[in-house]
Chains A and B, each alone.
Chain A
Amino acid sequence: MRRLFKMPPQLFRIFLLAVGIVVAYSIARYFLTPASFGEYGWYRGAALAEMATRDRVYAGKQACEECHSDEYQKLIKHEHKGLSCEACHGPGEAHVQNPDNPDVKMAVLHYSLCLRCHEANPSRPKWHKQIVSKNHYTGKCTECHVPHSPSEVP
């Protein structure tokens, strides 16, 4: 072989080394490339499925409606119809998973319910109903307003 090509021995060794590197790279690539690589593009396709299997915290309005349809029906007839139940009551997936367990409660949100949206603020759009709470009333909002049907008087 060596006589056939008349390759100088130092070049032959470099050639052998290069072949060795390519072979080692190919072997490493064969073993280390994930099976789903290239499924959708130059990334691990299984990452999508892994991300999709994460647990949720908010259940969604439909889950609430399944058991609390009476409250849901009330809600969608009034101005608050666009609101998600969990916007005020807090995330409820834990409650949906264990509906009969009284120890599993809806999580409580950071700060007060009505005023979170309705306290007057010059940055809020004009169409949105706002009050200056300290001039408006100092008692509970629910004394005069029904959150599920705000256009009704209790």
Chain B
Amino acid sequence: MNRPVSRRSIIGKLGAVVAGVLAAPAAKAAKAVAQKLLVSADAPKDYHPTAHKWLMAIDANRCIGCGLCAEACKRENHVPEGPYFRTWVERYIITKPKPGSGAARGETLVDCPNGGINGYPEAPVLKEEIQHSFFVPKLCNLCQHSPCVQVCPVGATFDAPDGAVLIDPKYCIGCGFCIQACPYGCRFLSPVTKTAEKCTLCYHRITRGLKPACVEVCPTQARIFGDLKNPVPDDPLQQFYQNNLVIALKPHLGTEPRLFYAGIDKEVR
């Protein structure tokens, strides 16, 4: 083991040691630069997503179909003009069955011109032929097993810890899988951003202690909003569950919606 040690080999070994010591900080600095160029990384400050569990509920008995919620949603979230909605109000008309047909219910007619923002035209059937008619506000059903989250190929949509199902606009590639996956039709491809968009429960409002815009403007409190982890005295959400018989939409699909409705007919899909 008495090999002669050359100057070259010593310099080479020293160089390797220096490079090894510098490699870690250099990699860290390079990583920071790369991330600044690719994605910004602001951490939440005074709002802690894990400390909340937001939820909405719909009391269709109270909905008067004024469309203020749909209009407020469009304005608050800058939803493009045209057939793009994060929330909308459907009108259901169930006609009387034809005499002698033996049926309990007639036809189900559903319409929703411009999300209900501009009101509804005259009913397509005579008033005497209507068995039952009502309005149903629709929005993201806040599923526990969200099909939209499962199909996203890039992990851009996710169940936030505070209850909202959100889309990371910087990661969404606009493939539209989630739009097809949502059985409630609650997503659309924005012609402006070319990414999928949906109800965020007005995430920028609820994180600042405000109600979502649709809940704020609803004149009859048909939309109930609350925090399951921080119930307030006389919590409207808890009172809603105490006083109503509730159902979820399309329960057979196993999506386990967290959004419950009171006062809707079996025809509502």
The answer to whether A binds B is: yes
Decide if B38 is an interface residue (CB 8 Å cutoff): yes
Answer whether A51 and B64 are a contact pair too, CB < 8 Å, given A60-B211, A117-B219. Answer: no
Chain B, residues 9-22, CB within 8 Å of chain A (1/0): the string is: 00000000000000
Known: A58-B72, A84-B216, A125-B64. Is A48-B133 also a contact (CB below 8 A)? no
How far does the Cβ of B106 sit from chain A's closest Cβ, in whole Å?
Answer: 14
Which residue from B75, B119, B169, B171 sits with its C-beta under 8 Å from A58?
B75
**Within 8 Å of chain A (Cβ to Cβ): is B27?**
yes
Contact A31 B30 (CB under 8 A): yes
Is there a chain A Cβ closer than 8 Å to B158's Cβ? yes
By a CB distance below 8 angstroms, the chain B residues around A137 are none
Q: Mark A118-154, 1 if CB is under 8 A from B, else 0.
A: 0101111100100000000000000000000000000
Q: Is A68 an interface residue (CB 8 A)?
A: no
Task: Known A51-B200, A52-B203, A86-B217; judge A34-B72 contact (CB<8 A).
Answer: no
Task: Report yes or no: B72 in contact with A49, Cβ–Cβ below 8 A.
Answer: no
Note all chain A residues with C-beta closer than 8 A to B38: 32, 34
Q: Does B145 contact A (CB under 8 A)?
A: no
Inter-subunit contact A34/B41 (CB<8 Å): yes
**Closest-CB distance, B98 to chain A (whole angstroms):** 19
Quick check: B41 and A86 within 8 Å, CB to CB?
A: no
Does B34 contact A31, Cβ atoms closer than 8 Å?
yes
Give the residues from 43 to 57 in chain B that come closer than 8 angstroms, CB to CB, to chain A: 43-45, 47, 49-50
Residues of A within 8 A of B (CB): 30-32, 34-36, 40-58, 60-61, 80, 82-84, 86-87, 91, 107, 109-111, 116-117, 119, 121-125, 128
Do B216 and A60 have beta carbons less than 8 Å apart? Answer: yes
Nearest CB of A to B141, in Å:
19
A122 to B92, CA, bound (A): 11
Complex Cα–Cα for A83 and B66 (A): 13
- Which listed segment binds A: B160-168, B178-186, B243-251, B252-260? B160-168
Chain B residues within 8 Å of A56, by CB: 76, 202, 204-205, 208, 210, 213
Residues of A within 8 A of B133 (CB): 122-123
Q: Which of chain B's residues has its CB closest to A44's CB?
A: B168
Q: Which of B180-213 contact A (CB under 8 A)?
A: 200, 202-205, 207-208, 210-211, 213
Partner of A44, one of B30, B127, B171: B171
Q: In chain A, what residue has the closest Cβ to B42?
A: A49
- B118 adjacent to chain A (CB < 8 Å): yes
B240 interface residue per 8 A CB criterion: no
* Residue contact B119 to A123, C-beta cutoff 8 Å: no
Is the C-beta of B120 less than 8 angstroms from some C-beta in chain A?
Answer: yes
| CB within 8 Å for A125 and B134 given contacts A44-B39, A46-B43, A82-B220 | yes
Residues of chain A contacted by B34 (CB below 8 angstroms): 31-32
Q: Which residue of B lies closest to A39 (CB)?
A: B43
CA–CA, A50 to B44, complex, Å? 8
Provide the residues of chain A in CB contact with B202, threshold 8 Å. 56
Q: Which residues of B contact A30 (CB under 8 A)?
A: 27, 31
A110 vs B160: C-alpha distance in the bound complex, in angstroms? Answer: 33
- Assess the A111–B219 pair: CB atoms within 8 A: no
A49 touches B31 (CB 8 A): no
A55 to B66 CA separation, bound complex (whole angstroms): 25
User: Chain A residues near B42 (CB, 8 Å)?
Assistant: 46, 49-50, 53
Interface residue? B140 (CB, 8 A): no
- Complex CA gap A124/B220 in Å reads 12
Besides A52-B44, A82-B221, 6 other A-B contacts (C-beta < 8 A): A47-B166, A56-B204, A61-B216, A84-B219, A119-B119, A122-B123
Interface string of B76-90 (1 = CB under 8 A from A): 101000000000000
* Cβ-closest 8 pairs across A and B: A47-B168, A54-B204, A43-B158, A52-B207, A123-B133, A87-B217, A49-B44, A35-B41
Is residue B96 contacting chain A, with contact meaning CB distance below 8 A?
no
List residues of B (209-237) whose CB comes within 8 Å of A's CBs.
210-211, 213, 216-221
